[in-house]
C-alpha cells in the first residue's frame, strides 16, 4: 500500500473545514451586545448552534440547505437572547389586531436602537477588515469559553432554602428575607407573599356618631408614573403639591389597565395573584360594595368608550359597578383625542365638570365615583379643528391633564360640598423603555411602570393648617388606600368639624412588599434588588439596569 494514502483524508477534511465564516459576525456581535448589557446570552443553545454550523459538509446543495435552515433559527435564537418577553405573549393579546396603522408604524420604529445599530455597523466593518488576516472562528470559540465560565453555577448543588421570617399584617410581606436569590428561594418568597396577603382585610365600621355627608371621587389615571413625570420634567407640579397626602412608594402591582382597575376596586383585601383577579373575590373585598353598606351611592364614569379589550365590561363585572352615569358616549362633548385604536377620547375637564353638575342635581347624601381616564395612553392623537388628527406628545397631554384636574378641584371647592379626592394611577407609560422592553411596552411590570404617584385631597372638610403634603414613605399599595378611606369615615373629627389629625390618620398604615404581576410575568423586589420571571414556571433573572 502507498504510505502516502493516509494523508489524503486529512487533506480532504482540511479542505472541507471552513470554520464559521460569516456566522462569526453573528456570534461576535452577540458577544458585544452581551458585554454592553443588551442581551441575556444563553451559552448552551448558542454553542450547540455554533457546533452544528462547524460540521464540515462537502456537498454544496446540503451546505445551502443548512444555511436556509440556520437563518430562521438564528433569528429565533437572537430574540430568545434578548430581554424581551416571549413573542407568543404579544400574539395572545387580541387587542393588537385593533391597533391603527399609524400606531403600528410608530411601534415598529421604536424597535430600532440607533446606538446599537451604529455599534453593529462598526462590528461589520471590523469583520470585513480583519477576516482575511485573523482566524475569527478561533476568536468566537474563545468567546464561548469566556462566557461559559459564568455559567458553571448549574454544576453546583442548589442552595438550601431557609425558612422565611414571619411577618405581621402591618409590615411588608415577606419583609425579612433570607437565602440566596435562586429560583427556589424566590418562588417560596412569592408564595409566602400571596399567602400572607390573602389574610389581610380592611374593616369598614360605622362610627357611633354618623359623620356629615361627603363624596369620594376615585380618579384612576392610565399611564402616569413617577418615572414618566421625571422624564417630562413635571414631577413638581401644582396638582400634587396641593395634595394633603402623597404616597412616595406606592406600587400599582401590574402594568395593564384592566388588572390595575380591578386591584383598585378590590382594595379592601390584600394583594392577590393575577389569576385570582378573575375569580370571585372574598367577602368584603370590593371597595365600592363596602361603601354601599355605609350608605354611599356609587357611579362610574370614563373619558373613553371602554370598548378596547373589554375594559368597561371587565371593570363592571369584577368591581360590581353600574353602567356609566352619563352613558358610554356623553352628549354634546367634543373629542379631544383619538385613541391608538381609533376610538374617541374626551377631555377630562369636560367629562368631570359634566358629571359634577349631574351629581349636584341628585338627591344623594353620599356619593362614590370611580373615574377612569386614558388621556395619557400611548398612541393617542390630538383632534384638530378640522376634525383630523395630529401627533400629541406625552408632555403636552400630561400638562393638560394636570391642569384639568387642578381646575376640577377648584370647581369642587366652589361648590361647598365635602369631597375626598383620591388620585390613583393604573400604571406608568414606560416612556423611555429599558433593556427588556421598548418604549411604550408594558408586558413586564417593572418598577419604572408600577411606581405611581398617589395623592389624597380633602375639600371643604376643615382646615388642617397644612401648607405641604404629608408624605407616606413606607412601601404601600391599594390596601393602604382602603384603610385611609375607612378611617376617614370613622374619624370623629369629620362629625364635629375639627381639623383632621393626619398624624393619627396615617399611623400604622398597611405596608405591602413590592410584587408586581401581569399574565405570566412577575417582578419582585428581594433584599433591595429587582428580579423578574417572564414565564409561568420559568427561572428568575436579575432585572437589568435601566437604559435612559
Where helices occur in 131-256 by DSSP H, the ranges are 136-148, 183-197, 226-231, 238-241
The whole-chain average pLDDT of the chain stands at: 85
For the stretch 378-411, pLDDT in tens is 989 999 999 899 989 999 999 999 999 999 999 9
Q: What is the mean predicted confidence (pLDDT) over 352-374?
A: 96
Paired with 503 in beta bridges are none
Classify burial at 94, counting beta carbons within 10 Å of its beta carbon; exposed 0-12, middle 13-18, buried 19 or more: exposed
Question: Residue ranges of the domains in the chain?
Answer: 11-155, 196-542
Q: Identify the top-confidence range among 119-128, 172-181, 525-534.
A: 525-534
% of the chain residues with pLDDT over 70: 84
Q: What is the mean predicted confidence (pLDDT) over 46-74?
A: 90
For the stretch 314-328, pLDDT in tens is 999 999 999 999 998
Closest by Cα among 150, 67, 90, 50 to 442: 90
d(CA 259, CA 424): 14
% of the chain residues with pLDDT over 90: 54
Position 173 scores a pLDDT of: 46
d(CA 36, CA 32): 6
Position 208 scores a pLDDT of: 79
Confidence of residue 32 (pLDDT cuts 50, 70, 90): confident
Least confident stretch, 21-25, 163-167, 238-242, 496-500: 163-167
Position 93 scores a pLDDT of: 56
Paired with 79 in beta bridges are none
Position 122 scores a pLDDT of: 82
Least confident stretch, 169-178, 271-280, 526-535: 169-178
Kindly tell me if the per-residue pLDDT of 466 is higher than 90. no
E strand or H helix that includes residue 533: strand 529-533
d(CA 318, CA 95): 20
Position 446 scores a pLDDT of: 94
Q: What is the mean predicted confidence (pLDDT) over 283-294?
A: 94
Position 172 scores a pLDDT of: 47
15-20 long-range Cβ contacts below 8 angstroms, 24+ apart: 16/56, 16/57, 16/58, 17/56, 18/56, 19/54, 19/135, 19/136, 19/137, 20/50, 20/53, 20/54, 20/136, 20/137, 20/140
Query: Which residue shows C-alpha cell 373575590?
Result: 281
Helices 43-54 and 136-148, packing angle to 10 deg:
150
Confidence of residue 166 (pLDDT cuts 50, 70, 90): very low
Q: What is the mean predicted confidence (pLDDT) over 305-310?
A: 91
Q: Please report how many Cα atoms fall inside a 13 Å half-sphere around the Cα of residue 88, on the Cβ side.
A: 7
For the stretch 231-269, pLDDT in tens is 999 999 999 999 999 999 999 999 999 999 999 999 999
Q: pTM higher than 0.85 for the full model?
A: no
Contact yes or no for 351/333 (Cβ under 8 A)? yes
Kindly tell me if the per-residue pLDDT of 38 is higher than 80. no
Position 160 scores a pLDDT of: 42
Fold of 196-542: Alkaline Phosphatase, subunit A (3.40.720)
Kindly tell me if the per-residue pLDDT of 100 is higher than 80. no
Amino acid at each position: 500500500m502507498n504510505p502516502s494514502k493516509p494523508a489524503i483524508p486529512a487533506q480532504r477534511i482540511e479542505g472541507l473545514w471552513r470554520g464559521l465564516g460569516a456566522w462569526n459576525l453573528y456570534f461576535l456581535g452577540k458577544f458585544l451586545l452581551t458585554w454592553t448589557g443588551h442581551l441575556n446570552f444563553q451559552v448552551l443553545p448558542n454553542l450547540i448552534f455554533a457546533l452544528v454550523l462547524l460540521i464540515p459538509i462537502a456537498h454544496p446543495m446540503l451546505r445551502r440547505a443548512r444555511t436556509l435552515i440556520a437563518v430562521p433559527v438564528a433569528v429565533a435564537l437572537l430574540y430568545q437572547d434578548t430581554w424581551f418577553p416571549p413573542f407568543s405573549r404579544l400574539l395572545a393579546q387580541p387587542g393588537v389586531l385593533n391597533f391603527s396603522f399609524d400606531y403600528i408604524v410608530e411601534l415598529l420604529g421604536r424597535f430600532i436602537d440607533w446606538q446599537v445599530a451604529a455599534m453593529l455597523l462598526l462590528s461589520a466593518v471590523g469583520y470585513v477588515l480583519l477576516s482575511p488576516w485573523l482566524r475569527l472562528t478561533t476568536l468566537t470559540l474563545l468567546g464561548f469559553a469566556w462566557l461559559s465560565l459564568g455559567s458553571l453555577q448549574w454544576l453546583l448543588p442548589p442552595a438550601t432554602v431557609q425558612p422565611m421570617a414571619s411577618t405581621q399584617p402591618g409590615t411588608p410581606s415577606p419583609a425579612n428575607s433570607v437565602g440566596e436569590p435562586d429560583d427556589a428561594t424566590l418562588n417560596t418568597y412569592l408564595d409566602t407573599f400571596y399567602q400572607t396577603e390573602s389574610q389581610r382585610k380592611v374593616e369598614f365600621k360605622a362610627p357611633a356618631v354618623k359623620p356629615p355627608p361627603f363624596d369620594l371621587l376615585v380618579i384612576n389615571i392610565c399611564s402616569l408614573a413617577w418615572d414618566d413625570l421625571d422624564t417630562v420634567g413635571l414631577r413638581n407640579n401644582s396638582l400634587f403639591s396641593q395634595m394633603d397626602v402623597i404616597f412616595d412608594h406606592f406600587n400599582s402591582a401590574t402594568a395593564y389597565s384592566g388588572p390595575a382597575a380591578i386591584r383598585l376596586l378590590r382594595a379592601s383585601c390584600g394583594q392577590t395573584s393575577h389569576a385570582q383577579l378573575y375569580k370571585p373575590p372574598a367577602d368584603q373585598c370590593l371597595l365600592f360594595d363596602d361603601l354601599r353598606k355605609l350608605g354611599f351611592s356609587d357611579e362610574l364614569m370614563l373619558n373613553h368608550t371602554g370598548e378596547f379589550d373589554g375594559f368597561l365590561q371587565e371593570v363592571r363585572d369584577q368591581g360590581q359597578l353600574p353602567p356609566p352615569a352619563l352613558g358610554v358616549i356623553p352628549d354634546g362633548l367634543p373629542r379631544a383625542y383619538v385613541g391608538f385604536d381609533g376610538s374617541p377620547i374626551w377631555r377630562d375637564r369636560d367629562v368631570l365638570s359634566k358629571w359634577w353638575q349631574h351629581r349636584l342635581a341628585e338627591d344623594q347624601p353620599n356619593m362614590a365615583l370611580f373615574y377612569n381616564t386614558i388621556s395619557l395612553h400611548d398612541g393617542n392623537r390630538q383632534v384638530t379643528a378640522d376634525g383630523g388628527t395630529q401627533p400629541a406628545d406625552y408632555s403636552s397631554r400630561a400638562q393638560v391633564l394636570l391642569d384639568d384636574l387642578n381646575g376640577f378641584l377648584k370647581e369642587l371647592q366652589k361648590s361647598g360640598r365635602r369631597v375626598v379626592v383620591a388620585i390613583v394611577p393604573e400604571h406608568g407609560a414606560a416612556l423611555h423603555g429599558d433593556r427588556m422592553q421598548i418604549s411604550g411596552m408594558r408586558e413586564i411590570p417593572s418598577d419604572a411602570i408600577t411606581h405611581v404617584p398617589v395623592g389624597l385631597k380633602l375639600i371643604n372638610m376643615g382646615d388642617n393648617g397644612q401648607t405641604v403634603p404629608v408624605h407616606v414613605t413606607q412601601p404601600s399599595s391599594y390596601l393602604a388606600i382602603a384603610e385611609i378611606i375607612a378611617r376617614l369615615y370613622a374619624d370623629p373629627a369629620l362629625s364635629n368639624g375639627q381639623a383632621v389629625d393626619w398624624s393619627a390618620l396615617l399611623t400604622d398604615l398597611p405596608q405591602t412588599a413590592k410584587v408586581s404581576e401581569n399574565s405570566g410575568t412577575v417582578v419582585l423586589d428581594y433584599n433591595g434588588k429587582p428580579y423578574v420571571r417572564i414565564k409561568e414556571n420559568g427561572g428568575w433573572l436579575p432585572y437589568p439596569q435601566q437604559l435612559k
